[in-house]
Amino acid sequence: MNLKKHTIGPIRRVGLVDLFRGRPGRPPWDLLALTKMVAQPTATPQAIVGWSRLKSNIICSLYQGRSGCASHILAIKLMRAYAARGKPDVTRKVFDKIPERNNVICNVMIRSYVNNHFYKDAILMYKSTLACGVTPDHYTLPCVLKACSSMDNLRFGVQIHCPAVKKGLDLTLFTGNGLIAMYGKCGNLVEARRVFDEMPQRDIVSWNSMVAGYAQNGRFDEALEVCKEMDSLGVKPDSGTMASLAPAVTNTSAENVMFVKKIFSDMAKDELVAWNVMIAMYANNSMSSEAIGLYTQMEAHGIEPDAITIASVLPACGDLSAVSLGKRIHEYIEIKKLRPNLSVENALIDMYAKCGCLQDARKVFDEMQIKDVISWTSMMSAYGRSGKGEQAVDLFSKMQDLGIIPDSIAFVSILSACSHAGLLEEGRNYYKLMIEEYKIVPRLEHSTCMVDILGRAGKVDEANIHIKQMSMEPNDRVWGALLSACHVYNNMDIGVIAADRLFQLAPQQSGYYVLLSNIYAKAGRWKDVTLFRSIMKGRGVKKIPAVSNVELDDHVHTFLAGDRSHPQMEEIYLELDILLGKMKEAGYVPKTDTALHDVEEEEKENHLVVHSEKLAIVFAIINSEPRVPIRVTKNLRVCEDCHIAIKFISKITERQIIVRDTNRYHHFENGVCSCGDYW
């Protein structure tokens, strides 16, 4: 519709109102059309402005000397239009001008507040309507209950329950569902279940609310149980069921993932939410390739991704260093104008950071109109992982200057940045600041960072003391950090203590056996190394196979150590041989003392040559244009020999090589690594 046809000059305005007056019982059709247009998400700013100019007089005129159904219809439309555009304050202005209010108008006002997350105002409005003698009905209560659950306000929720029972509304579908959701969200699952059980009729939302209640409170088995109960009663789960279940299936068993996958596969694939939940579930269960695969399928299905899809799939791109897909998604965000959106932008920063594209991450960060503590944290950890501790420290003070309060995770980020950059004093200060200024109780993650900071700086004894002074029981990561320090600084005494604890806490983690074996290997105690290998075998511990990923043309290629399965393998090994020759000419000496096995030097050298990251890098060299940076992601820490070797490779081939291991980033360029050989 063209706004020009509805000129909104003063003359026309009087005309409209006159038209209305002349036809009691019917609102002027073109005004209604205008209202509808303003309510559309596609309404232009001009339309809104035009409408605003109308609104100041229109309501007064409408109600002049009359009150009636027609005036109410128009007023309600106007209120809804403003609420839909996120302006509950303007809605309220319209509301205040209405002389006689019935419960429909009050309901609309309350809902405007709730839908715009103004929960306190919604509850205040509810109270004042009660005071005015307007009685709440089966439209009012679900809405007010939603406000209670969003605020975690169990006390007021219970106060709603009483009048609901008096009127028998608790047995109606919508109010009953609202009660279940409220009790569930507020953690009173017994009461939620009671309401659920007493409802004479239930629908899919009742079931979903019940599932959500258990899932949100960490009672995952019960959430799954309710799903199975539905199934046995022939109630078909829908996309809402999947969404409700989502909190229950992050970091969960393969079995649970399969369960949700089954629900998804039995369902019509036309609902965005279902896809979003599936993608998020894959991403949250370290199934990044599956997440990306499903995203591609979704596009093929013609379903348009929204901001939530994007925020769910980007971490998977980051995880696999799939930067070309990440960039494509970035373009999509710009095309669909999904920015500004905090979650999307924060996810973008993280994706670029994990792909080693610091500048791109920083660009997104700088362009953001509003930044929250997560944005700052993401950017700090981006610098941290790349060994740019000073920049992280710099950001931390800027964040403080802006009055943004760092939370527990922000401190994990900055501490971890300090550890990667070897900033011992800064790390100590931040730890102190966190406890003394911000009154944050240190979590295991903070201690892990502190042990890491102390340990990497060679203060192995002090790190050991830190562990002894912890108020919480140290976990395997804390001991693992200490063991790594012992490995770097050849501290066998403390290393054995740490390893001893680790073998109790995480007997299946091969990495720790390898570290301790390597400490023995460095000391030439091959008997102990052999002993450990037999202990590992005896306990059924398997070495996690080293895997390196490298992206080429939107496709992720995976290499195992000693891999010969890749179709281009012959070419890769040939090229590797040539490269090795050049490297040795340039002064490369394989560093063999960290190899686990007690074998002859030459044989050890062969083991090292075929480490997965070397294969991945050579593959990328063969298949990509000169000077294009190579990005490799590894599932374990990069070993000392590979680190030395890649420095040579970066110089010989004049390539930037960016390797991400489990701990951090290594930007290799012209024979130098960004970590300064400190990792």
Residue ranges binding DNA (CB under 7 A): 111, 114-115, 138-139, 142-143, 145-146, 149, 173-174, 177-178, 181, 185, 203-206, 208-209, 212, 216, 239-240, 242-244, 246-247, 250, 273, 276-277, 280, 283-284, 307-308, 311-312, 315, 318, 341-344, 346-347, 350, 353, 372-374, 377-378, 381, 384-385, 407, 409-410, 412-413, 416, 445, 448-449, 477
> In the complex, what is the shortest distance from the CB of residue 324 to DNA, in angstroms, rounded to a whole number?
19
3-state secondary structure of 660: strand
Toward DNA, which CB reaches closer, 373 or 552? 373
> In the complex, what is the shortest distance from the CB of residue 569 to DNA, in angstroms, rounded to a whole number?
33
Checking phi first, is residue 220 left (phi over 0); if not, alpha (psi -120 to 50) or beta?
A: alpha
Toward DNA, which CB reaches closer, 404 or 610? 404
Toward DNA, which CB reaches closer, 185 or 611? 185
What does the alpha-carbon distance between residue 508 and residue 97 come to, in Å, rounded to a whole number?
70
Q: Token digits for 166?
A: 């008096």
> In the complex, what is the shortest distance from the CB of residue 568 to DNA, in angstroms, rounded to a whole number?
33
What does the alpha-carbon distance between residue 109 and residue 573 come to, in Å, rounded to a whole number?
71
Q: Which amino acid is at 505?
A: L
Residue identified by tokens 């527990």 is 408
111 closest CA partner among 102, 121, 96:
121
> In the complex, what is the shortest distance from the CB of residue 603 to DNA, in angstroms, rounded to a whole number?
34
What does the alpha-carbon distance between residue 382 and residue 666 come to, in Å, rounded to a whole number?
12
> In the complex, what is the shortest distance from the CB of residue 662 to DNA, in angstroms, rounded to a whole number?
9
Toward DNA, which CB reaches closer, 54 or 263? 263
Toward DNA, which CB reaches closer, 71 or 216? 216
Taking only Cα atoms into account, the Rg of the chain, rounded to an integer number of angstroms, comes to 31
DSSP-assigned letters across all residues of 79-100: HHHHHHTT-HHHHHHHHHH-SS
> In the complex, what is the shortest distance from the CB of residue 124 to DNA, in angstroms, rounded to a whole number?
18
Q: Specify whether the CB–CB gap between 356 and 321 falls below 8 A.
A: yes
Toward DNA, which CB reaches closer, 381 or 549? 381
What does the alpha-carbon distance between residue 13 and residue 51 come to, in Å, rounded to a whole number?
11
What does the alpha-carbon distance between residue 169 and residue 375 come to, in Å, rounded to a whole number?
44
Toward DNA, which CB reaches closer, 50 or 157? 157
Residue identified by tokens 């007023």 is 75
Toward DNA, which CB reaches closer, 58 or 449? 449
> In the complex, what is the shortest distance from the CB of residue 601 to DNA, in angstroms, rounded to a whole number?
34
- Please measure the distance between the N-terminal and C-terminal CA atoms of the chain and give it in whole angstroms: 63
> In the complex, what is the shortest distance from the CB of residue 351 to DNA, in angstroms, rounded to a whole number?
8
> In the complex, what is the shortest distance from the CB of residue 375 to DNA, in angstroms, rounded to a whole number?
7
How long a stretch of residues is the chain? Answer: 679
> In the complex, what is the shortest distance from the CB of residue 86 to DNA, in angstroms, rounded to a whole number?
14
536 closest CA partner among 508, 516, 498:
508
Q: Token digits for 373?
A: 């503590």
Burial class (CB in 10 A: 0-12, 13-18, 19+), 504: exposed
Q: Summarize the chain as % helix, strand, coil (round to 5).
A: 65, 5, 30
Q: Output the CA angle 284-236-229, nearest 5 degrees.
A: 80
3-state secondary structure of 266: coil
What does the alpha-carbon distance between residue 126 and residue 130 come to, in Å, rounded to a whole number?
6
Burial class (CB in 10 A: 0-12, 13-18, 19+), 642: buried
Toward DNA, which CB reaches closer, 400 or 653? 400
Toward DNA, which CB reaches closer, 62 or 148? 148
Q: Token digits for 203?
A: 């629908």
Task: Report the 10 Å Cβ neighbour count for 10.
Answer: 9
> In the complex, what is the shortest distance from the CB of residue 408 to DNA, in angstroms, rounded to a whole number?
7
Toward DNA, which CB reaches closer, 451 or 514? 451
3-state secondary structure of 549: strand
Toward DNA, which CB reaches closer, 235 or 373? 373
> In the complex, what is the shortest distance from the CB of residue 173 to DNA, in angstroms, rounded to a whole number?
6
Toward DNA, which CB reaches closer, 392 or 616? 392
What does the alpha-carbon distance between residue 261 and residue 424 come to, in Å, rounded to a whole number?
47
Rounded (10°) angle between helices 323-335 and 307-320? 160
Residue identified by tokens 């609420």 is 83
Toward DNA, which CB reaches closer, 242 or 550? 242
3-state secondary structure of 12: helix
Q: Specify whether the CB–CB gap between 102 and 108 falls below 8 A.
A: no
> In the complex, what is the shortest distance from the CB of residue 232 to DNA, in angstroms, rounded to a whole number?
19
Strands (E), 469-609: 547-552, 555-560
Toward DNA, which CB reaches closer, 112 or 548? 112
What does the alpha-carbon distance between residue 663 and residue 634 come to, in Å, rounded to a whole number?
10
496 closest CA partner among 444, 532, 443, 449:
532
Q: Specify whether the CB–CB gap between 140 and 106 falls below 8 A.
A: yes
> In the complex, what is the shortest distance from the CB of residue 343 to DNA, in angstroms, rounded to a whole number?
3
For residue 554, what is the DSSP state?
Answer: T
> In the complex, what is the shortest distance from the CB of residue 60 to DNA, in angstroms, rounded to a whole number?
28
Toward DNA, which CB reaches closer, 246 or 434? 246
> In the complex, what is the shortest distance from the CB of residue 319 to DNA, in angstroms, rounded to a whole number?
9
Count Cα neighbours of 187 within 13 Å in the Cβ-side half-sphere.
7
Toward DNA, which CB reaches closer, 307 or 505? 307
> In the complex, what is the shortest distance from the CB of residue 491 to DNA, in angstroms, rounded to a whole number?
20
Count Cα neighbours of 486 within 13 Å in the Cβ-side half-sphere.
27
